[in-house]
Amino acid sequence: MEANKAVFLDRDGVINQDDGYVYKINDFIFLDGVFDACRIFQNLGFKLVIVTNQSGVARGFYTEDDVLTLHDWVKTQFRQEGVNIDKAYFCPHHNEQGLGIYKLSCNCRKPEPGMLLQAKSELSLDMSQSIMIGDKVSDVQVGNNAGVGKTVYITQDSTKAKNEIAADYYCQSLLAFAEALKSSTTS
Ligand SMILES: [Mg+2]
Ligand SMILES: [Zn+2]
């Protein structure tokens, strides 16, 4: 049975301020409204899954353990706000800039769908009922590549974004989308 549905969340630029290669807890700044938005998704019956490219691992800026430690902390912050993050996946690879074992054309670096398909299998997701939310073209592409029902482009410049790629929604913040989704499903 594939009875579950998920909101797939890009991390940097959607959940937290994207300052480039964030890996320290002290540098992780939650964006306004993220907890409220995720409570809405949760109340609408969605599982919550973080999917993030972390080529900083491949480039040798930080380690997989650093990412795991940060994500444990992030999940704890959400839990204290009443939100359960079901899974947090990251891709540590880069096909050109990667060092050693991390130099790889993998199937998990967005827009490749590997992380989303792993979540589909681990959480028994109905992808057609699921939503991918990100702030880059590759986030919209990965939603399409993984067969999710809706794609959301978080952007301050929807005119520019619309020229880059066709998404189902263009919103200025996670909370703006969550409120729009709530009113469209409860009205
Ligand atoms: Mg991003
Ligand atoms: Zn990868």
Ligand nearest to the CA of 22: 1
pTM for the predicted model, two decimal places: 0.97
Q: Give the catalytic positions in this structure.
A: 10, 12
Task: Give 133 Cα–ligand 2 centroid separation in angstroms.
Answer: 19
Q: What are the pLDDT digits (tens) for 149-164?
A: 999 999 999 999 999 9
**CATH dotted code for 5-186:** 3.40.50.1000
Task: For residue 138, give the ligand nearest its CA.
Answer: 1
H helix or E strand, kind and range, residue 71: helix 64-80
The pLDDT score that the predictor gives to residue 1 is: 55
Sequence ranges of the domains in the chain:
5-186
- Distance in Å, CA 1 to ligand 1 centroid: 31
Percentage of the chain beyond pLDDT 90 is 97
User: What's the pLDDT tens digit per position in 57-93?
Assistant: 999 999 999 999 999 999 999 999 999 999 999 999 9
Handedness of CA 95, 98, 101, 102 (dihedral sign): negative
What pLDDT does residue 185 have? 85
56 alpha carbon – ligand 2 mean position (Å): 12
**DSSP letters spanning 103-124:** B---S-STTS-HHHHHHHHHHT
Q: Hey, what are 14's tokens?
A: 């959607």
Res 2: pLDDT: 59
Tell me the C-alpha distance between 124 and 1, whole Å. 7
Q: In whole numbers, what is the pLDDT of the chain averaged over residues?
A: 97
Contact 81, 39 (CB under 8 A): yes
